[in-house]
Amino acid sequence: MSHEVTQTVRGLSKPLITLDNSALEASLRSHIAEPDFPCVGAKSALAKGTLRVISGWSLTSAWDDLKIHEALMDWSEEFRKDPAGLRSLAVVFEGPTDVSESDFERLMWERIQSLADKDDWLGQPYDPKVSTNPEDPHFSLSFGGQAYFVVGLHPNASRPARRTPHPTLVFNLHEQFETLRNQNRYERMRERIIERDVALSGSANPMLARHGEMSEARQYSGREVEGDWQCPFSDPRGS
- Give residue-wise pLDDT tens across range 74-129: 999 999 998 877 889 999 999 999 999 999 999 999 999 999 999 999 999 999 99
The pLDDT of residue 199 is: 72
- Give residue-wise pLDDT tens across range 142-184: 999 999 999 999 999 998 889 999 999 999 998 887 776 776 7
The pLDDT of residue 178 is: 77
Residue 68 lies in a domain: yes
Query: Given a cut of 60, is residue 15 above it in pLDDT?
Result: no
pTM of the model: 0.86
Q: Over the range 49-64, which residues count as b (16 or more CB within 10 Å of their CB) and which as e?
A: ebbbbbbbbbbbbeeb
Residue 148 lies in a domain: yes
Residue 72 lies in a domain: yes
Cα separation, 218 vs 208, in Å, equals 9
Residue 222 CA: distances (Å) to CA of 21, 90, 100, 211, 226: 25, 16, 12, 16, 12
Residue 226 lies in a domain: no
Question: What is the share, in percent, of the chain residues with pLDDT greater than 70?
Answer: 84
The domain of 186 spans 17-219
The pLDDT of residue 18 is: 56
Maximum average pLDDT range among 29-38, 134-143, 222-231: 134-143
How many structural domains is the chain composed of? 1
Residue 100 lies in a domain: yes
Number of residues in the chain: 239
Residue 152 lies in a domain: yes
The DSSP-derived string for 85-114 is: S--EEEEEEEE--S--HHHHHHHHHHHHHH
Backbone angles phi, psi at 133, to 5 degrees: -85, 115
Residue 27 lies in a domain: yes
Cα separation, 217 vs 231, in Å, equals 7
87 within 8 A of 45, measured Cβ to Cβ: yes
- Give residue-wise pLDDT tens across range 44-69: 888 888 899 999 999 999 999 999 99
Residue 1 lies in a domain: no
